[in-house]
Structure 1
Amino acid sequence: MEIVELQLKAAQIRKDLLTIIHRAKTGHTGGSLSNTDILTALYYRVMNIDPDHPQDENRDRFVLSKGHSVESLWSILADRGFFAKEELLTYSQFGTRLIGHPNNKVPGIEMNTGALGHGLAVSVGMALAAKRFGKKYRTYCLMGDGEQAEGSVWEGAMAGAHYKLDNLIGIIDRNRLQISGPTDEVMGLEPLEEKWASFGWHVVSIDGNDMQELVQTFEAVPQVADKPTLVMANTVKGKGVSFAENVAHWHHHVPNDAEWEKALSELDSSIEKLKREGQVC
């Protein structure tokens, strides 16, 4: 997909994730909205994946370490054809596969996540396996910024650098808000980029809601041989919905009927503007 097509797709995914959260009356809205552009760039442009062969040994791996922000991922996997879009209607219902965190009974999910701090360590193992067995696939791991308070993140960071895993890409959804408030008030993180660099990672800081920057960054990896890459994706919590942006309350706030309708109306306006500016039919 070209950049404007990716932007249009991200807006539609935001509509889809808001709809399943509104219907289920549960979910993590703010973080799913902030990470949508990152996932859209990966799943529609960057990663080597095939919905018809989800277990292809040469596929790129993706791990959503911040597993609570799964609604954007479910919406994208359905749209890409990993499972029928109708199944989205079962999100968080009794007996569904589409629970509130990634579930590896669903095609396209590499591992169950939810307990924060585990995704990077497992991603290190996946990337190391590729090196040991001569495979070309890459492993992408999306973490939250609040998650950086977990000690296991830094054990994984140390191991990734030690094994020179330049096929490993860590991404931090740096929206600066977590469930109980601003991340730097809950647990100070700065200087976060310098910390990752000191652990031996090549660090790139970008606007994580700018599709052009996301694509250019991911397509340029690895920029440094024998070093894993950390993409500091500076995002806006609640991105795309004006009244949810940068509001900590929207971490797990479920939109009521009026909020849902207003959010969809805003996103529809964004889609129409993108179509006009990009001359897309």
Structure 2
Amino acid sequence: MSFSPEPLDPDDDRPPYEQVARSLSAAIRTRKLAPGEKLPSHKTLTEMYGFARATIQRALRDLEDEGLVVSRKGSGVYVRNRTERPAGLRPYVEQAFSSQHVSIDFAGFSSETLHGALQEPLDKIRIGRLSPSTINIRILVPDMSVPQAAPVRKADCADDPRLRERMHDIMVGYTRSISDAISELSHLGLVAESNVSVRVHSGTQFFKMYIINEQDVFFGYYPIRPNKVVAQGEVVEIYDLVGKDATLFHHSTNDGESSGGAQQVEQARMWFDSVWNTIGRDFNADGR
């Protein structure tokens, strides 16, 4: 077995099983452990990491719950093939911040999921466990000052300015929070350079997409479903874009230059830049 894990951080205060799980998941994401490859035995992992067998078992259960590995009775634990189950976004975002130069492009509806995925790596920068030199985040969202295909009133599928105002406020809240958190890191001297840019476009956003360090892309669709919301003090039944728990599909340049994954990443970057540089309009979170 050629796999050799990266040394664990002695100052990491997370439980040992989480440290092992994060180490193995990073190895899977960077293809040090390839799809379909068998992981070292429990005994070997125990020797590699220096933790008890129970710790290794707990870490492997977490990886299985995350959809990164599969346990085959009597055979061992294997890295899942990419086609078996989509991977999670958060570990890839955290791994991106281990690089000196971090770039994240997001196209979607409100940036709520991006906001959540950034919290842990930003906390680690604050306490000195991660130390990127530059952070550049671009956020591309629909312009809620103009009518959209959704959200709309359920009764007649008609545009309702109150719904757009509600979504505008949600989007502003998350994008402003992301921008403030990244700016704080620069002001504290924890990151040499940082930038968060937001642009809007007039089209309805039916999918969400993340481009992480120009190497990994996550893509998922927003289903439209009935919902009830409060808009300006009134309960309104609507058809809404639901994306918080949307399934995300992963594509990576690590799959090889001629692979479908690498081509997906190239096309995603091309699409994002084309919209950003043409019909995207600068947006100030403190105004429209």
The interval holding the TM-score normalised by the smaller chain is under 0.3
Task: Choose between structure 1 and 2: higher helix proportion.
Answer: 1
Task: Choose between structure 1 and 2: higher strand proportion.
Answer: 2
Question: Which gives a bigger RCO, structure 1 or 2 (Cα 8 Å, sep 6+)?
Answer: 1
Higher CA-based Rg = 2
User: Taking structure 2 as the reference length, what is the TM-score of the superposition?
Assistant: 0.25
